Amino acid sequence: MIVFDLECRSGGHRFEGWFGSSGDFSQQQERGLVTCPVCGGGDVIKAVMAPNLGRKGNQLSVSTPLSPQEPTRSPAAASAPVTNAPVTNAGPVIPPEALAMFRAIAEAQTEALKSSRWVGDTFAETARAIHYGEADAEPIHGKATHRQAQELVEEGIEIAPVLVSVVPPGKTN
């Protein structure tokens, strides 16, 4: 089996098609059997697509740089070529604007958490103690279940989720 990215010329719709071989696609296209699933149009062509090749087990990956000026690579990858594109084997490519937005959010969260104390699994209890005046007011962060978070909100305790997952202190490599 072979998968082709296909494009409907009349509507510009893109979709996948599975065929036994490249020849099967050509034969079905000539007979008018390949149609657009969105609009039903029969003017369908193979779209330009990049091959999806898996990395060999002995090849190193290059991590995505934080900025085009300062690529970030693991020490083991020092001899590997620098690239500004993420190395991926599956899924869509994230647009540069979205990557920049995610980085900005992560950096803002990191700065905010510097002035906050990690309370781990006791987040709900600690937040309640602060809210009800049983503990000194201070910014905290930690872990809570969805149910615990709902209960805090129902009690009128202001909380906010972190947008980028946090590694507890002492748990980093």
Domain extents in the chain:
2-46, 94-167
What mean pLDDT comes out for the span 2-20? 86
Flag whether the pTM goes above 0.75: no
In this predicted model, what pLDDT tens digit does every residue of 96-117 receive, in sequence order?
888 888 888 888 888 888 889 9
What mean pLDDT comes out for the span 72-83? 43
pLDDT of 173 > 60? The answer is no
Whose CA is closest to 120, among 167, 173, 172?
A: 167
Q: What is the pLDDT of residue 160?
A: 87
pLDDT of 63 > 80? The answer is no
Contact predicate 92/81, CB 8 Å: no
* Average pLDDT value over all residues in the chain: 78
d(CA 31, CA 33): 6
d(CA 112, CA 139): 9
Both tokens assigned to 131? 């809210």
Of the CA atoms within 13 Å of residue 35, those in its CB half-sphere come to 9
Q: Which residue has the higher pLDDT, 57 or 96?
A: 96
